[in-house]
A and B are shown apart, each in its own frame.
Chain A
Amino acid sequence: MNSIIIGQYIPGKGFLYRLDPRTKMLAIIFLMVSVFLLQNITQLLVAFGIGILILLFGRISLWKVIKGLKPIFVLLIFTFVFQIALNKSGTVVSDAVMHFNLYSVIIAVGAFILWRILVRLNRFKMLLFIAFLLGLYFILRYADFGNDFYSFHLTIYEKGIEMSVFVVVRLLIIITLTTILTLTTKPTDLTQGMESLMHPLKKIGFNSDEFALIISISLRYIPTIFDEAQKIMAAQASRGADFSEGKLKDKLKQIVSLLVPMFIIAFIRSEELADAMESRNFVPGQKRTRINVLNFSMVDVYTGLFTLACFAGAIVAKVVL
Chain B
Amino acid sequence: MGIRFKEVTHEYPSYSKTMYKAIQNITLDIPANGEFIALVGHTGSGKSTLAKHMNALIFPTSGSVEIFGNTITNKRNKAIKYNDLRKKVGLVFQFPEYQLFEETVEKDIMFGPLNFKVPQEEARLLASNSLSMVGLDVTYLKRNPFNLSGGEKKRVSIAGILALDPEILVLDEPTSGLDPAGKHTLMNLFKEIHDKTGKTVIIITHDMDLVYEYFNRVIVLKNGELSFDGTPESLFKSDVIETNHLDLPNTIKALKYLKSEYGLNIDIYKKTVEEAVLELNRVIRDE
Contact = CB atoms under 8 A, between A and B. Distances in A.
A140 interface: no
Contacts of A257: 99, 101, 111
A245 interface: yes
Contacts of A236: 99
Interface string B86-112: 110011110010111100000000011
Contacts of A231: 93, 98
A3 B98 contact: no
Contact of B160 (A239, A250, A256): A239
Interface residues of B, number: 26
Contacts of B83: 237, 240, 242, 245
B20 to A, nearest CB: 11
B161 interface: yes
Central interface residue in A235, A237, A261, by most chain B CB within 10 Å = A235
B13 A239 contact: no
B93 A260 contact: no
Question: Would you call the interface of chain A mostly helix, strand, loop, or mixed?
Answer: helix
Given A3-B13, A257-B111, A238 B101 contact: no
B13 A2 contact: yes
Contacts of A2: 12-13
A171 B164 CA distance: 54
A238 B12 contact: no
Given A2-B12, A240-B164, A264-B146, A235 B99 contact: yes
B101 A235 contact: no
Contacts of A239: 86, 99, 111-112, 115, 160-161, 164
B257 interface: no
A235 B98 contact: yes
A316 interface: no
A241 interface: yes
Contacts, number: 63
B243 to A, nearest CB: 32
Nearest to A2: B13
B264 to A, nearest CB: 49
A284 to B, nearest CB: 29
A2 B13 CA distance: 8
B112 A261 contact: no
Interface string B154-165: 000000110010
Interface in A244-264: 245, 250, 254, 256-257, 259-261, 264
Contact of A235 (B82, B96, B146, B164): B96
Contacts of A261: 98-101
A234 B83 CA distance: 12
A160 B160 CA distance: 62
A235 B93 contact: yes
A232 interface: yes
A64 to B, nearest CB: 15
Contact of B93 (A234, A240, A265): A234
B103 to A, nearest CB: 9
Interface string A1-33: 011000000000000000000000000000000
Contacts of A238: 55, 57, 86, 90-93, 161
Contacts of B92: 238
Contact of A240 (B57, B96, B112): B112
Nearest to A245: B83
Interface string B104-126: 00000001100110000000000
B56 to A, nearest CB: 9
Given A257-B101, A260-B101, 20 more contacts: A2-B12, A231-B93, A232-B98, A235-B99, A237-B83, A238-B92, A238-B93, A238-B161, A239-B86, A239-B99, A239-B111, A239-B112, A239-B160, A240-B83, A240-B86, A240-B112, A240-B116, A241-B115, A261-B101, A264-B98
21 contacts: A2-B13, A234-B57, A235-B98, A237-B86, A238-B55, A238-B90, A238-B91, A238-B92, A239-B86, A239-B160, A239-B164, A240-B87, A240-B112, A240-B115, A241-B111, A242-B83, A242-B115, A245-B83, A254-B115, A257-B99, A261-B98
Interface of B: 12-13, 52, 55, 57, 82-83, 86-87, 90-93, 96, 98-101, 111-112, 115-116, 146, 160-161, 164
Query: 3 nearest interchain CB pairs?
Result: A240-B115, A260-B101, A239-B112
